Amino acid sequence: MARRFQLLIGACLLAAAALGAVRRPPPPADKNAPPLKSSAAVRRWMRGMTLRDEVAQLVFIPFYGASPNSRSREYRKFVRLIRDNKVGGLILVNWANGRTTQKAEPYALAAFLNRVQRLAKVPLLVSADFERGASMRVNDTTPFPHAMAFGAAGDPELARFEGEITAREARALGVHWIFYPVADVNNNPDNPVINNRSFGENPQAVAALVKAFIEGAHSDKKNYVLTTAKHFPGHGDTNVDTHLNLATIGADRDRLDRLELVPFRAAIDAGVDSIMTGHIAVPALAPPGLPATLAPQILTGLLRNDLGFKGLVVTDALEMGTIAKGYSSGDAAVRALEAGADALLMPADPDAAMKAVVTAVESGRLTRRRIQESVVKILAAKEKVGLDRKRAVDSETIGDVIDSPEANEKAQEVADRALTLVRNPGNLVPLAAPQNACYLVLAENRYSPEGQVFTDEIRKRLPKAAVATLDPGMTRAAMDDAVRRLSGCGSYVVAAFSSVAAYRGTIGLSGDLAQLVQSLKPVVLIALGNPYLLRNFPDVGAYMATFSTAPTSELAAVRALFGEIAIGGRLPVSIPPLAQPGEGIAVRATRTPDNLRNSQLQ
């Protein structure tokens, strides 16, 4: 009996020892290390944080800008991640509804953020991809065009103004951190994911616009937003959508210094608050096949040590295919922190990511101090935007800030000045007889609102205009039938929408739409978005690029067609082998809206 009792006690002790080996208490910060510099507010927020609490501060989860049903599973999960798991922040994304995306409504967004801020023990840092100003994610805000339109306009003061307005509108809505400007140099015309999100292909010109935007966003301390240069070390020379698969930059270090890194250096000099990593492999810097997001040689060796960047390093979304296909949520999170990242954006499984990082610290793979270094940076960023003083926004003042007439006028100026006439051998632009032209809108899908402004503005000027809208979902027979219904076409104006979209993998017109355009003559082709469409139509009668699908760009295109505004933009990219950077045909305005209304066109 005694022998059996001894064996039982021994078994219990062994089990306890085994459990202790598996689950050790969280290690304290290294007492021999110098103390982390932090403010009183940061120390107050960190007081009493467990290791898991600290890890949670590094995680940023997505939300859709409106409050879901409080009884829904989605909302309960969201509340748990904020109140119980204590994540550090949020990122606003568009809500996909079937084949369309829906933006947030400004007042609903502000109310939702005020609501969830009350759930958080430590204030939430709210972020968003405001690449075209807040209008990229929120309705009824200033509709700035894409970055490449600023490159075509060629005036850093316009980018500075965009930064100022974006900051003002973001803060009014409750957003503190914007993932912009794009510092990628788009020197690959086949790039399906950067394209017109970039300011252009000249690194010095891109750097000047990056710098100007950051300065504008930081110009009003009351409306200060955290800015982000992306996608480090440069995503411009790729032909792969990294939402789907890994892209590789084949440049050597010398080329990187001369081209890709130039805008990032300018951003750092301008005081950019954060830099977003790219899910791209750079064999000249790190092992082939290793995304920069997970590469210490790039995030620590190049960005921290060589370039001297001291701010926040945030990953691109960790749910993207490049990462999700090759790494679990937990492994990706740990590797990103090992590489030098501070903030983990959109892990596919936030719970698994946090658990893996905690385990990595407990096992000694990561140190507690390494986690705390990033926590201090994130909390300092929260203090920098005033979250230690106030976390809610005043919804009554939103209408006084967003979508102001002054900002709208300036956004329209950018779109107008960006218009670049690349080809016009027959002087088709401006239209000599707009009433004799037929107008085709090539939408990206039948549910898209793109083209509505263009069509409405044509009909304002020509109520009886022959207008048809086509989309890739139509059969070729249906397309041909729609064109046949147009009568008396002395010429054709084709407004072709082609924009960058995540997970699409390509950018351009579908085969049937492209063949249809080639069958029409004479054609004025307007590229709304992707400027490289000219490569598919080298002999088109006239070619004009807007560099954006924004409604301001639609209006600018119509005004230019009717001779109401001058055309003076310059290509910020090459369109090989047809056009070089800096090219553009200048055209004077020939009509004004007033004398147009009094003319016989109507």
Angle separating helix axes 405-418 and 156-173, nearest 10 degrees = 140
Taking CA atoms, 380 is separated from 333, 400, 477, in Å, by 21, 29, 60
pLDDT confidence of residue 128: 98
Residue 602 has pLDDT above 60, yes or no: no
Of residues 229, 142, 145, 231, the one with CA closest to residue 193? 231
Other beta carbons within 10 angstroms of residue 573's beta carbon come to 28
**Which whole number is the average pLDDT over 262-273?**
99
Interval 509-521: pLDDT, tens: 878 899 999 999 9
Task: List the domain range (segments joined by +) for residue 187.
Answer: 50-401
Report, as residue numbers or ranges, the catalytic residues.
243, 316
CB 101 within 8 A of CB 150: no
Asked whether residue 486 is domain-assigned, the answer is yes
From the list 192, 173, 193, the residue with the least C-alpha distance to 182 is 193
What does the pLDDT read at residue 71?
73
Q: List the structure tokens of 495.
A: 């407004």
428, 392: one domain = no
Backbone angles phi, psi at 399, to 5 degrees: -65, -20
d(CA 523, CA 113): 48
Query: 274: burial class by Cβ within 10 Å (0-12, 13-18, 19+)?
Result: buried
- Structure confidence at residue 594 (pLDDT): 56
Identity of residue 401? V
Q: Identify whether residues 281 and 382 lie together within a single domain.
A: yes
Task: Report residue 197 as tokens.
Answer: 């999100």
**Going edge to edge, which strands form the sheet with 312-314?**
228-232, 274-277, 312-314
Give the pLDDT of residue 13: 40
Tens digit of each residue's pLDDT (9 = 90 or more) over 212-254: 999 999 999 999 999 999 999 999 999 877 777 789 999 999 9
Which pLDDT belongs to residue 335?
Answer: 98
- Among the three residues 372, 401, 430, which one is the final residue of a domain in this structure? 401
Is the Cα dihedral 297, 298, 300, 304 positive or negative?
positive
Q: Name the pairing type of β-strands 542-545 and 420-423.
A: antiparallel
- Answer yes or no: do 332 and 464 share one domain: no
Please indicate, yes or no, whether residues 151 and 91 belong to a single structural domain of this protein: yes
Distance from the Cα of residue 431 to its chain's centroid: 35
Candidate from 65-79, 89-103, 326-340, 428-442 with smallest mean pLDDT: 65-79
Q: Mean of the pLDDT values across residues 359-369?
A: 98
Q: Is the peptide bond before 231 cis (omega within 30 degrees of 0)?
A: yes
Residue 30 lies in a domain: no
Please check whether residues 125 and 68 belong to one and the same domain. Answer: yes
| Residues 372 and 521 occupy one common structural domain | no
Say if residue 393 is in the same domain as residue 425.
no
- Taking each helix axis as running N to C, give the angle between helix 405-418 and helix 551-561, from 0 to 180 degrees, rounded to the nearest 10: 60
CA 450, CA 433: separation in Å to the nearest integer? Answer: 25
Q: Which pLDDT band holds residue 8 (cuts at 50, 70, 90)?
A: very low
Are the CB atoms for 428 and 522 separated by under 8 Å? yes
Q: What is the pLDDT of residues 127-161, one digit of tens each?
A: 999 999 999 999 999 999 999 999 999 999 999 99
Q: Can you tell me the mean pLDDT for 575-585?
A: 97
Q: What does the pLDDT look like over 471-511, one tens digit per residue? A: 988 999 999 999 999 988 999 999 999 986 544 555 678 78
389 with 486, same domain: the answer is no
Q: What confidence score (pLDDT) does residue 506 get?
A: 57
pTM (two decimals): 0.91
Q: Round to whole Å and give the CA distance between 218 and 147.
A: 18
Q: Where do the DSSP E strands lie in 455-563?
A: 466-470, 491-498, 523-529, 542-545
Asked if residue 22 has pLDDT above 60, the reply is: no
Q: 442 and 395, same structural domain?
A: no
Q: What percent of the chain has pLDDT over 70?
A: 89
H helix or E strand, kind and range, residue 370: helix 368-384
Residue 13 lies in a domain: no
The answer to the question of residue 4 being in a domain is no
pLDDT mean across residues, the chain:
91
The full length of the chain comes to: 602
Give the chain's domain count: 2
CA distances from 431 to 112, 459, 493, 562 (A): 48, 15, 9, 6
C-alpha dihedral, 276 to 281 to 283 to 289, nearest 10° = 140
Indicate whether 321 and 286 sit together in one domain: yes
pLDDT in tens, 433-455: 999 999 999 998 888 889 999 99
pLDDT at 11: 44
Domain contains 84: yes
Give the pLDDT confidence of 280-323 residue by residue, as tens digits: 999 999 999 999 999 999 999 999 999 999 999 999 999 998 89
- Name the percent of the chain lying above pLDDT 90: 80
CATH number at residue 435: 3.40.50.1700
Q: Is 390 in contact with 113 (CB distance < 8 Å)?
A: no
- Among all chains, which residue has been given the structure tokens 């926004």? 393
Residue 252's identity, in one-letter code, is D
In a domain? residue 44: no
Residues 506 and 566 in one domain: yes
Beta strands 125-128 and 89-92, pairing class: parallel
pLDDT of res. 240: 79
Model pLDDT, residue 101: 77
Q: What is the DSSP string of 38-100?
A: --HHHHHHHTT--HHHHHHTTEEEEE-SS---TTSHHHHHHHIIIIIS--SEEEE-PEEETTE
Domain boundary among 401, 431, 466: 401
Burial letters 16-31, b for 16+ CB under 10 A, else e = eeeeeeeeeeeeebee
Q: Mean of the pLDDT values across residues 374-382?
A: 98
In CATH, what number is assigned to the domain containing residue 375? 3.20.20.300
Residue 404 to residue 573: CA distance in whole angstroms: 32
At residue 153's C-alpha, the angle toward residues 152 and 158, to 5°, is: 130
- Cβ(169)–Cβ(104) under 8 Å? no
Per-residue b or e along 376-413, where b marks 16 or more CB atoms closer than 10 Å to that residue's CB: bbbbbbbbbbbbbeebebebeebeebbbbeebbebbbb
Residue for token pair 């995540």: 502
Is 357 in the same domain as 455?
no
Q: Is residue 154 part of a domain?
A: yes
